[in-house]
Amino acid sequence: SGASASLNEAMAVLQHHDAVSGTSKQHVANDYARQLAEGWGPCEVLLSNALARLSGSKKDFTFCRELNISLCPFTQGAHSFEVTVYNPLGRKVERMVRLPVSKEAFLVKGPDGAVVPNNVVPNPSSEQLELLFPATVPALGFSVYSVSRVSPRRPTSLRRRPRAQEAE
Which residue number, 14 or 132, has a Cβ lying nearer to another protein? 132
The answer to the question of residue 47 lying near another protein (CB under 8 A) is: yes
Sheet holding 128-137, edge to edge: 93-101, 128-137, 119-123
Q: Which positions ≥6 away from 40 have C-beta within 8 Å?
A: 7, 65
- Distance from C-alpha of 41 to C-alpha of 31, rounded to nearest angstrom: 16
Which of 113, 114, 124, 160 touches another protein (CB under 8 A)?
124
Q: Scan residues 20-39 and list those touching another protein (CB under 8 A).
A: 20-26
| Residue with smaller CB distance to another protein, 7 or 133 | 133
What 3-state class would DSSP assign to 123?
strand
- Angle (nearest 5°) at CA 87 between 85 and 89: 170
Distance CA(78)–CA(148), nearest Å, equals 8
68 in contact with another protein (CB under 8 A): yes
Question: Which range binds another protein by CB under 8 A, 2-10, 85-93, 103-111, 153-161?
Answer: 85-93
CB atoms within 10 A of CB 121: 11
Q: Output DSSP code: residue 132.
A: E
Report, in Å, the least distance between residue 163 CB and another protein: 35
- Exactly one of 97, 101, 108, 129 binds another protein (CB under 8 A); that residue is 97
- The CB-of-33 to another protein minimum distance in angstroms stands at 12
Note the residues at the interface with another protein (CB under 8 A): 18, 20-26, 47-48, 51-53, 55-64, 67-69, 72, 74-75, 78, 80-89, 93-97, 99, 117-119, 121-125, 132-135, 137, 146
